Amino acid sequence: MIPDNIISEAENLRELIRYHNRLYYAEDRSEISDGEYDTLMLRLMELESRWPELATEDSPTLRVGAKPLSRFPSILWDPPMLSLDNVFSVEEFIEFDRRIRHELKLEDDPVYSVEPKLDGLAIALIYENGVLQRAGTRGDGSEGEDVTPNARTLRSIPLKLSSDLSGNLVVRGEVIFRKNDFQKMNKERKSLGLEPFVNPRNAASGSLRQLDSRITASRPLSFIAYGTARWPGGIASQHSLLDLLARLGIPLNPCNSLCRGVDEVEIACRRLEENRDELPWEIDGAVIKLNEASFQERMGTLSRFPRWAAAWKFRAEEAVTRLIDIEIQVGRTGKLTPVARLEPVFVGGVTVSSATLHNEDELCRKDARPGDKVIVRRAGDVIPEVVRSLGRPDGERGEKFEFPRSCPVCNGPVAREEDASAHRCMNPSCPAKLRESLFHWGSRDALDIEGLGSKLAEQLVDKGMVKDVSDLYSLTRPQLASLDRMGGKSADNLIKELEESLSATLQRFITGIGIPGIGRTVSGLLSGRFSDLQKLMDAGVDELLAIEGIGPVLADNLHRFFNEKITRDVVNRLLSVGFKPRGSGAGDGSQPLLGLTVVFTGGISIPRSEARIMAEKAGAKVTGSISSRTDIVVAGPGAGEKLRKAGELGLEVISEDEFLKLIRDGGYLFAKHK
């Protein structure tokens, strides 16, 4: 039997802790120190530990976290949690307002709720009869991750609402870090020798989505509400909805305002933008909503956006600093990115010492050189970038940065893709991209090696078992069985898959080695032209250019790949382990659609992805739109606009059965084959 005085003390402690949580998170003030708060919490934990029957489903002690999960369960949202369409200027908002007044046939200016757009992670909280039951992230809008144990650790989220409420209430809002909490946490991490978090937005998302809720509990996250999934009974406007949430003890943004018409909205947004540094949390714009519930319902929603709301995005903050040097970073896909090393400068709430210059085209356009003064901003308030160069005060400038022709990591050849600005290392065994190369090598479009996924590729590289793509073929059963989630049977299956891949076609082999710009379609063209790999490796640029569908950039990339020592050696090592990739050869009839462009429309009985693969194996290029360059349209039941356009252009239209017969039998002649 629990003594009455103990029961009373526990109830009083719970109410007192909830009261101080509401003060701090809903009203942004406090009456006690952190130490005094901790004393209250420790006493309640002591009582509930000694008398477990005292614990309630809404006790503040639940905020300490629970044992780790293996994964997050799914949670479904109905209605969906939509994103917002953006406006970037008063002119764009005028057009938004004009459309609303026109569709609602309003004579007077509508009233809008203008609210700071918080920069965090969107979540929803499900309350039943006033008690928190579930919480989940937005996800794709229709399905998110159930993070209930983690959400319970946030002191700003009431486990029990302060007023009696019957039925179901789904509260939507953002999980964020207050600026002072974020800075304090980073200071503590540095003192412990841990890497500080770069920005509050990403840190908030990562902290709430920890499988171990005890980690979430250790981080000072906050929740701010902005609405509900459905209008509660008796609520007819956004303003009255926010009043209800405040009465329930749910934290809100204190800077919300009501505005009539465009002029008042513009003033409110400008005021928020000018004062954003003084706010307790990061914002990247303002959310503007029709205030009247009936107006929102009449405007309705699109598949992704509500038509009654918009996000007015603010300009990214900028600062001036000196560009010390330009370096090239090689990403996991082999992409070369120029990065500016800067004198540290505080911008957008963080200290920035490096910033992206994106690619060679942007580098040339901005003409940034070491020694220059440059303007820096946080693109999207997240990624630092160099906006432009201001030159040097003395007028003297350094040499222009020359983009490298070889990879700074492996010294392999670098290629620029056709109609693209990115440069990529062509060496599939480059250490910077080896994980991605192995994953691509085993993908369905390439060698189709079941079991060679991204996780396994990562383990093979991290443990030093594979340093070159050809090393895959010398892996042993004991080596593979020692890896996580493998075991003997999985090791045997993978070795069998690797052995079978040695008989891959030339098309799959070329796709697998991952030459920039050379996917399965172009590989099919090459396979149809060359009878074996050696003939392709020995082909000159002019011979490659003679193949329809291959332009100067692709021809040059192919020729360089097979003639640069580093990349040619990769191919030779693959040949030495047993590969003998052969093509179909020109004109042998095994690729009846060679060089043709195919479009599928309407319903067909086989999955569209399989139909695409079949067409590409037959040498075709598959596109999603009709044009004068389309050769064949495969039309099924329900074909509409594309079929009509095909008729206008006089294109060849065939049925699914005719397509399958063509693939199976070949010999179907079109103009390009005559």
Could you give the residue numbers annotated as active site? Answer: 117
Backbone angles phi and psi of 11, in degrees to 5: -60, -40
Tell me which DSSP letter residue 466 carries. Answer: -
Given a contact cutoff of 8 angstroms between Cβ atoms, the answer to whether 555 and 545 are in contact is yes
CA nearest to 398, candidates 320, 325, 337? 325
Half-sphere exposure of 42 (CA within 13 A, CB side): 6
Query: In angstroms, what CA-CA distances link 90 with 96, 258, 269?
Result: 10, 17, 10
Given a contact cutoff of 8 angstroms between Cβ atoms, the answer to whether 497 and 449 are in contact is yes
**288: its two tokens:** 């503007």
Residue for token pair 């003060």: 23
Sort 347 into a burial class: Cβ within 10 Å, 0-12 / 13-18 / 19+. Answer: buried
Tell me which DSSP letter residue 517 carries. Answer: T
Backbone angles phi and psi of 130, in degrees to 5: 85, 0
Angle at 146 between CA 245 and CA 289, to 5 degrees: 40
Given a contact cutoff of 8 angstroms between Cβ atoms, the answer to whether 433 and 333 are in contact is yes
Given a contact cutoff of 8 angstroms between Cβ atoms, the answer to whether 335 and 424 are in contact is yes
Rounded distance between C-alpha atoms, residue 32 and residue 39, angstroms: 11
Tell me which DSSP letter residue 3 carries. Answer: -
Helix, coil or strand: residue 529: helix
Given a contact cutoff of 8 angstroms between Cβ atoms, the answer to whether 351 and 332 are in contact is no
Given a contact cutoff of 8 angstroms between Cβ atoms, the answer to whether 314 and 276 are in contact is yes
Given a contact cutoff of 8 angstroms between Cβ atoms, the answer to whether 279 and 56 are in contact is no
Chain center to CA of 664: 40
CA nearest to 280, candidates 156, 163, 142? 156
**22: its two tokens:** 């509401």
Helix, coil or strand: residue 391: strand
Residues in the chain: 674
Backbone angles phi and psi of 149, in degrees to 5: -60, -35
